[in-house]
Structure 1
């Protein structure tokens, strides 16, 4: 049975890459009855009918899947955040980081507009940047007309399936427009095979960039905690995850429980106070969430 990967989905068709070939496929009719919805990024088996069209017969197990954008098997997200215009927002950054951690998607923090900061502004923000690096998050800095942007991103994108995320106005589209034209020769064949330009419908598509695959959509601008349970939230904070191993109670929520290692680390300063405040805020959101039936 031939195998491939869905690189684009549009109007009920799935465009599967198998080596150098692209096959336009439909999903099996039984998929709908079984609640299976193929996604861009899925690895699939297919069979060819007639001369060119095919049918997806098997969707292989995913390691993860996002809803917005609908894409599967993501390795990492380039989390684009500006240092100014809009101002750097640690609360919003933590919201994005927590949700990405919950989907087991590795975040890479891409800071933009670093050249627009005064020394005083940078001095105010730098402690936060140092904190995130100390926690273990990978971080790169870019600026307007960054001639080395492709050079900075190439080693990060190689052999990975990546998406972009971040709030509006931070430079996601600029980053895409810089990286994709730089590899026009590689993406041109795929674009022609997948029929780009023939449709106006917004869709997700994976294109080859820097030896990896990148979703050529600015992605999503907000996250919620619909898929995270309160007992799972602390697992999405790396420094909490380590400390919680020393808590007295296995399902400690780190609020007022006795012998809570997370609270002890907050008090000692090992865990930053603002990160703990964000955790408490997110926990309240989860507790206030309407029941799902």
Structure 2
């Protein structure tokens, strides 16, 4: 049997990268009985059909991580791409991506792209999110700014590129490795949103131990994987850091009195916008749980 990693899955076929090349494979029926579906990023064992050199997946190794959307396994690194302008940045959506990455336990890097359109805005956002505890890089495909730092972040990781359409994910990946030749799209002049250019989830090889997933663009994330609203406070780094100073251990930093988080917001130690997004996400999860 051969071992490999699934780099793409389309229509029931899984393309497994092995030492003997990429093998088109099917999955054994037993996986369906176990309610287990192979995912891009899965490390697997396959049996080769000598007649046509096709493969049969017979074993899926235990997953280190698993994301729901995009459906991928064994991701170790998340790079969240947001454009400063064209389209304008949506920090609520950024914080939603960050919440998901924290939930999955991924190391996370924020990439603020198209800084050539508004460098001041990029620097202001960088300060906010570095203060919150995140690594941030500023990039521009036009000036090549930050591309070397982006390459360093991808080394020796399976990285998911996340972010809404039109922020420049495919353009940045083409700059990291021109061999990708990913299709890029323009911003619609009517609604200022990006056109979707990535049609399926695919793991792209940068080198032997470095892969990146360019995922279909999307502008919203369902948070129904969070079972309890109290979890949200743990997924905001700065709120988790200062929350123990509240008078009540159960404090959600919402309507409770003598809340240290509100004091830190008023003092400017915690960003007003981050706190506002925290409350919005808290309400969203409450509404999900209500139904």
| Distance in 1 between residues matched to 2:142 and 2:20, nearest whole Å | 34
The answer on whether the counterparts of 1:24 and 1:54 sit within 8 Å (CA) in structure 2 is: yes
Q: Which residue of 1 aligns with 2:268?
A: 269
Higher relative contact order (CA 8 A, sep 6+): 1
Q: State the shift of 1:64 in Å.
A: 2.2
Q: Which residue of 1 aligns with 2:98?
A: 97
Q: State the shift of 1:126 in Å.
A: 3.6
- SS of the residue aligned with 1:68? coil
Q: Which residue of 2 aligns with 1:129?
A: 126
Give aligned pairs, total: 272
* 183 and 288 in structure 1: CA distance in 2 versus 1, 3 angstrom threshold: closer
Q: Which residue of 1 aligns with 2:55?
A: 54
Q: Which residue of 2 aligns with 1:232?
A: 231
| Distance in 2 between residues matched to 1:251 and 1:13, nearest whole Å | 48
Q: Choose from 215, 218, 227 the match for 2:213.
A: 215
Alignment RMSD: 2.7
Provide the TM-score with structure 2 as the length reference.
0.81
| Distance in 1 between residues matched to 2:100 and 2:137, nearest whole Å | 20
Task: For structure 2, list consecutive stretches of 5 or more residues without a partner in the other structure.
Answer: 182-197
Asked if 1:179 corresponds to 2:180, the answer is: no
Q: State the shift of 1:116 in Å.
A: 1.9
Q: Which residue of 1 aligns with 2:109?
A: 108
Matches within 5 A, 1:26-37: 26-37=26-37
Per-residue CA distance 1:179-227 (angstroms, 9 max, x = gap): 332578xxxxxxxxxxxxxxxx943221212561012445443323121
Q: State the shift of 1:2 in Å.
A: 3.9
Per-residue CA distance 1:22-52 (angstroms, 9 max, x = gap): 3322222121121101100011233334352
* 20 and 138 in structure 1: CA distance in 2 versus 1, 3 angstrom threshold: farther
| Distance in 2 between residues matched to 1:125 and 1:160, nearest whole Å | 26
| Distance in 1 between residues matched to 2:179 and 2:146, nearest whole Å | 10
Q: State the shift of 1:151 in Å.
A: 2.3
| Distance in 1 between residues matched to 2:145 and 2:130, nearest whole Å | 22
The answer on whether the counterparts of 2:137 and 2:146 sit within 8 Å (CA) in structure 1 is: no
| Distance in 2 between residues matched to 1:93 and 1:267, nearest whole Å | 22
Q: State the shift of 1:261 in Å.
A: 4.0
Per-residue CA distance 1:42-86 (angstroms, 9 max, x = gap): 112333343523322222222322233221111222211121222
Provide the TM-score with structure 1 as the length reference.
0.81
* 217 and 92 in structure 1: CA distance in 2 versus 1, 3 angstrom threshold: closer
